């Protein structure tokens, strides 16, 4: 079976839907886009993630292009999993009114081959059917390739090992049990899980094994309610500008301390990680007040020890827990993969790849939106965007990672601002600054347009310094890894 289209997009998560929105702005109504995803519906990671997940940002800016939510809730509302999935389906239906979109849900992309300016995409369904898609352009909107976490393998079978992706901690056997819960991890999933247990099961013993700890962006400082939107709070774009201004490629510890003190919130004694997560002060207080204990260590195993079970940690420390306790795997999703490198643009210029081995911006949704516009405006070949191997950098320096990523986003956004029409930026509903009234947003935009070219050389030097210090891919396309 062979299908022909103008654009093929692989991935129907937030990155893929923003690529789809951008592509719909370049094609005529009778042109065709084929959307491929291994899942049975639109939604990406939101199809698989744990049932009590909530957006950590106000819902309005979590969208495709500038498609408005129809939820009818207050601006600050944190949408649930089902509400997010409903909105992403709504985005697909809205885009369908502009251009022909045919979905191949439940299909895996097996291979792609670029020949004579077109791309041959091979896909296979779960029941073994094969389809060949002949496309003028291919967008691989893989994003962070997040997949569900399995329960941790344990030596002891006298405790329960579960994962939030397969066990709703608010219900079922874990809810009926009164045995203690040990949450393994200190990031967003761990916070969601702790908050769900503490609020739905008051009095339950909940313990946190937080590794090195994590700090979060304080939601109250970036998304204030009411009249404070006019005169208080900090625009998220201002954080990106200030962080990239301070970071020179060598001083991540200093920038880290400034960032955490100025904009952070946390509940663990140490904070060795920051992964762009958001949390409110109230959520922090609720979680901190409901935890029985917080261990700043890394979990290794649970082993039988006489009539009890012993938890063992990387430091060599141990603690005894009662049989029947629950071990919940809330370790991270993003940095556990080991995907091969792929440039964001293929040698022939017909394939765009959106993933963390050649990242060009801080979020995959932004990459899906802006990079697809750049591809279809035919600006990617001649614009010297920097690519960053996020997977390699997080393995080598978690402290440098967020500030390198923010600097990368500022640098590449500056280059794209000179290449793309103003309408592209006007239709970007992902912009967190949209939380604020128009006058404040216009002032921030004016400052960016006046200064962004002057900041490029400093940003470029910082990125080059990171490349040289950590011997990783961080530079213009095809620049390679530092020697």
Q: Whole-angstrom Cα distance, residue 360 to residue 371? A: 8
Q: So where are the chain's domains?
A: 2-147+336-383+419-435, 160-215+266-332
Name the 3-class secondary structure at 158.
coil
Which residues sit opposite 32 in a β-bridge?
100
Q: Which helix (H) or strand (E) holds 173?
A: helix 172-176
Q: What are phi and psi of 333, to 5 degrees?
A: -100, -35
- Taking each continuous run of H as one helix and of E as one strand, the counts in the chain are 15, 20
* Per-residue tens of pLDDT for the chain, all 483 residues: 899 999 999 999 999 999 999 999 999 999 999 999 999 999 999 999 999 999 999 999 999 999 999 999 999 999 999 999 999 999 999 999 999 999 999 999 999 999 999 999 999 999 999 999 999 999 999 988 888 889 999 999 999 999 999 999 999 999 999 999 999 999 999 999 999 999 999 999 999 999 999 999 999 999 999 999 999 999 999 999 999 999 999 999 999 999 999 999 999 999 999 988 999 999 999 999 999 999 999 999 999 998 889 999 999 999 999 999 999 999 976 655 678 899 999 999 999 999 999 999 999 999 999 999 999 999 999 999 999 999 999 999 999 999 999 999 999 999 999 999 999 999 999 999 999 999 999 999 999 999 999 999 999 999 999 999 999 999 998 765 543
The CATH homologous superfamily for domain 160-215+266-332 is FAD/NAD(P)-binding domain (3.50.50.60)
Helix (H, G, I), strand (E, B) or coil at 462: helix
User: Where are the alpha helices (H) located in 97-169, listed in sequence order?
Assistant: none
- Estimate to the nearest angstrom the gap between the alpha carbon of 177 and the chain centroid: 33
CA atoms within 13 A on the CB side of 108: 7
158 near 324, Cβ under 8 Å? Answer: yes
| Fold equal for 2-147+336-383+419-435 and 160-215+266-332 | yes
CATH class of 2-147+336-383+419-435: alpha beta
């Amino acid at each position: 079976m062979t299908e022909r289209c103008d654009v093929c997009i692989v991935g129907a998560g937030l990155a893929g839907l923003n690529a789809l929105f951008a592509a719909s702005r370049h094609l005529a109504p009778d042109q065709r886009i084929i959307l491929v995803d291994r899942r049975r519906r639109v939604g990406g990671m939101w199809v698989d993630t744990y049932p009590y997940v909530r957006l950590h940002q106000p819902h309005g800016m979590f969208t495709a292009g500038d498609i408005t939510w129809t939820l009818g809730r207050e601006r600050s509302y944190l949408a649930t999993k089902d509400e997010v999935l409903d909105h992403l389906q709504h985005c697909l239906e809205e885009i369908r009114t502009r251009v022909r979109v045919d979905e191949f849900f439940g299909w895996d992309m097996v291979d792609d081959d670029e020949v004579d300016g077109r791309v041959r995409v091979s896909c296979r369904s779960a029941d073994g059917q094969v389809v060949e898609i002949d496309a003028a352009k291919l967008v691989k909107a893989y994003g962070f390739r997040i997949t569900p976490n399995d329960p941790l393998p344990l030596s002891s079978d006298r405790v329960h090992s579960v994962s939030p992706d397969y066990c709703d901690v608010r219900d079922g056997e874990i809810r009926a049990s009164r045995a203690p819960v040990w949450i393994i991890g200190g990031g967003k999933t761990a916070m969601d899980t702790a908050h769900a247990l503490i609020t739905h099961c008051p009095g339950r013993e909940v313990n946190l094994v937080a590794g090195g700890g994590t700090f979060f962006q304080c939601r109250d400082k970036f998304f204030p309610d009411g009249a404070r939107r006019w005169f208080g709070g900090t625009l998220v774009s201002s954080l990106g500008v200030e962080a990239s201004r301070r970071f020179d490629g060598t001083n991540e510890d200093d920038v880290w301390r400034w960032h955490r003190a100025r904009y952070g919130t946390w509940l663990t004694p140490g904070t060795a990680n920051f992964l762009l997560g958001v949390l409110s002060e109230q959520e922090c207080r609720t979680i901190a007040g409901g935890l029985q204990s917080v261990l700043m260590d890394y979990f290794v195993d649970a082993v039988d020890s006489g009539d009890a079970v012993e938890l063992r940690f990387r430091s060599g420390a141990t603690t005894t827990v009662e049989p029947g306790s629950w071990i919940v795997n809330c370790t991270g999703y993003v940095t556990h993969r080991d995907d091969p490198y792929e440039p964001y643009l293929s040698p022939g210029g017909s394939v765009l790849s959106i993933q963390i081995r050649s990242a060009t911006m801080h979020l995959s949704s932004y990459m899906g939106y802006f990079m697809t516009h750049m591809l279809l405006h035919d600006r990617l070949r001649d614009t010297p965007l920097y690519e960053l191997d996020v997977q390699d950098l997080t393995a080598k320096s978690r402290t440098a990672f967020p500030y390198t990523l923010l600097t990368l986003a500022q640098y590449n956004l500056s280059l794209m601002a000179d290449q793309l029409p103003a309408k592209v930026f006007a239709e970007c509903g992902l912009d967190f600054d949209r939380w604020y009234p128009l006058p404040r947003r216009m002032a921030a935009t004016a400052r960016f347009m006046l200064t962004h070219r002057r900041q490029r050389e400093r940003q470029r030097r910082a990125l080059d310094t990171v490349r040289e210090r950590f011997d990783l891919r961080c530079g213009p396309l095809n620049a390679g890894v530092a020697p």
